[in-house]
């Protein structure tokens, strides 16, 4: 309605009331229009490993949609991610996953302000699928393209979770990213130069060998527990109760940087323990057969575990959790921060969450975990991490390429 249309003389009160409501409605629409214009809708695309994901996030904070197609069932029989199979599956999934994310968000492509895509670190063949798709879409729509570091995405996942609950974490913070591919500690600070949610990162420590999630997966494999190992070992450790510990694993010492991690020694210690105790062999074999026959539910595997195995799993998890929590708490103390973020697939671990909460509360620190959906690989965290770059106008061009290793700091 055009508010400049004047009331004609002689029109009734009813007409003038209608004119007024139309003007008010028009003003309201204008205001809403301005508000809508200020919103930044970013489509995030993630394909760095074995999840094809797409999500739409508004202003780096509000998740309109988040779709994840997991390839776990494809890689399970190989006991780990097979890169060639992963890229092929990304190719199959990328179009339907993006389409679903747009539908769930209730948007069409022209409503988007930018396309964000994971540039690295990750499997090059997998990354290239998301990057090629993102580049093409951005070019076709004439929208900006933003390359995002996957690790920065994991840090933003913790923020995203807090924002969903109306919370705003205080910086500086220490962030532990702990997944199947990474175990790394960062100090996270707000960038002085901008109020755009851009952060500055300083790496404090990292694993010198296996990532914690990788250790879970390898130990699960050698115990005949299937893939991925983390979720099942998490639940078996909780079911162990006070089963006698068949062995104990002491703290891992790392020479040099006390904030570095190491998990391959622990994994090897479990392997040697199992080799030295042939009584494990029969039940490992029984579980492998059960898994091959499709009996992979927790209860089915639990009945195939002796108290000795449950005790071993509990001791393995105690050692991983103790190491992750102690070094992160030390980092928080060294940096004098009041906030800790824990993100990545292993952040879903129940004992890790409980132990962090307990330790952090005892020294007055606040610890943030993303929900399980935001802990594991997803594209909402990629869209959220891209927002600061969008505000700063840091865009990629058609030369954007995949990076298997891509340091954040
Ligand atoms: O972040 P993510 O989905 O993928 C990357 O590796 O980037 O993490 C997957 C890893 C796997 O190693 C899996 O075993 C582990 O996270 N994981 C867990 C749990 N859930 C997933 N580890 C321990 N406890 C869990 N509940
Ligand atoms: Zn990840």
Give per-residue pLDDT as tens, 263-319: 999 999 999 999 999 999 999 999 999 999 999 899 999 999 999 999 999 999 999
Residue with tokens 């960062």, as numbered in its chain: 186
pLDDT at 32 over 80: no
Atom index in ligand 1 nearest the CA of residue 377 equals: 3
Contacts of 192 (CB under 8 A, 6+ apart): none
Can you read off the two tokens belonging to residue 138? 């951005």
Atom index in ligand 1 nearest the CA of residue 212 equals: 12
Residue 33 has what pLDDT?
47
Question: Is the beta carbon of 197 within 6 A of some atom in ligand 1?
Answer: no
Say how far apart CA 16 and CA 10 lie, in whole Å.
10
Contacts of 36 (CB under 8 A, 6+ apart): none
Residue among 376, 379, 381 whose CB has most ligand 1 atoms within 8 A, to mutate: 376
Residue 193 has what pLDDT?
54
pLDDT at 29 over 70: no
Atom index in ligand 1 nearest the CA of residue 350 equals: 26
pTM score above 0.85:
yes
Q: Give per-residue pLDDT as tens, 375-395.
A: 999 999 999 999 999 999 999
Select from 378, 51, 375, 46 the least CA-distant residue to 230.
375
CA trace torsion 131, 136, 141, 143 (10° rounding): 40
Please tell me the distance between residue 164's alpha carbon and the centre of ligand 1 in angstroms: 23
Please tell me the distance between residue 64's alpha carbon and the centre of ligand 2 in angstroms: 21
Task: Give the H/E segment covering residue 23.
Answer: helix 13-38
Question: Is the beta carbon of 339 within 6 A of some atom in ligand 1?
Answer: no
Which listed ligand is nearest to 150 at the C-alpha?
2
Largest Cα separation within the chain, whole Å, is: 102
Q: Give per-residue pLDDT as tens, 124-135.
A: 999 999 999 999
Q: Return the axis-axis angle of helices 350-362 and 229-239, rounded to nearest 10°.
A: 70
Of residues 14 and 162, the one with the higher pLDDT is: 162
Which listed ligand is nearest to 375 at the C-alpha?
1
Residue 37 has what pLDDT?
54
Residue with tokens 């952090």, as numbered in its chain: 360
Residue 108 has what pLDDT?
98
Residue 76 has what pLDDT?
87
Question: Is the beta carbon of 216 within 6 A of some atom in ligand 1?
Answer: yes
Select from 356, 341, 345 the least CA-distant residue to 215.
345
pLDDT at 340 over 80: yes
């Amino acid at each position: 309605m055009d508010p400049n249309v004047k009331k004609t003389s002689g029109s009734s009160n009813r007409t003038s009331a209608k004119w007024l409501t139309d003007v008010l409605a028009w003003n309201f629409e204008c205001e809403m229009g301005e508000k809508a214009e200020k919103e930044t809708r970013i489509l995030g695309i993630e394909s760095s490993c074995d999840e094809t994901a797409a999500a739409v996030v508004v202003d780096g904070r509000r998740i309109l949609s988040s779709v994840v197609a997991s390839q776990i069932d494809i890689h399970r029989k190989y006991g780990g991610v097979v890169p060639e199979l992963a890229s092929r599956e990304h190719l199959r999934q990328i179009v339907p996953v993006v389409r679903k994310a747009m539908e769930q968000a209730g948007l069409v492509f022209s409503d988007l302000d930018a396309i964000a895509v994971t540039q690295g670190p990750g499997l090059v063949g997998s990354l290239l699928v998301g990057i090629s798709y993102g580049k093409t879409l951005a070019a076709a729509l004439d929208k900006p393209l933003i390359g995002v570091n996957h690790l920065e995405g994991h840090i933003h996942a913790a923020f995203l979770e807090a924002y969903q609950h109306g919370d705003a974490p205080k910086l500086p913070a220490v962030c532990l990213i702990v997944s199947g591919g990474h175990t790394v500690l960062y100090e996270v600070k707000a960038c002085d130069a901008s109020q755009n949610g851009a952060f500055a990162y300083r790496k404090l420590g990292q694993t010198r060998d296996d990532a914690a999630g990788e250790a879970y997966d390898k130990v699960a494999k050698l115990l005949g527990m299937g893939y991925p190992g983390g979720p099942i070992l998490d639940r078996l450790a909780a079911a162990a109760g006070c089963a006698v510990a068949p062995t104990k694993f002491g703290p891992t010492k790392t020479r040099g940087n006390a904030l570095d991690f190491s998990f391959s020694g622990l994994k090897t210690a479990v392997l040697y323990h199992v080799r030295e105790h042939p009584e494990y062999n029969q039940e490992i074999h029984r579980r492998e057969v059960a898994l091959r026959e499709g009996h992979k539910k927790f209860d089915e595997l639990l009945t195939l575990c002796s108290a000795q195995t449950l005790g071993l799993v509990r001791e393995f998890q105690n050692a991983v959790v103790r190491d992750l929590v102690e070094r992160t708490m030390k980092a928080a103390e060294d940096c004098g921060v009041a906030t800790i973020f824990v993100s990545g697939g292993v952040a879903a671990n129940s004992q890790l969450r409980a132990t962090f909460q307990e330790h952090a509360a005892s020294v007055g620190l606040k610890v943030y975990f993303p929900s399980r959906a935001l802990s594991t690989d997803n594209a909402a965290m990629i869209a959220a991490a891209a927002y600061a770059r969008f505000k700063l106008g840091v865009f990629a061009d058609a030369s954007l390429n995949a990076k298997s290793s891509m340091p954040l700091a």
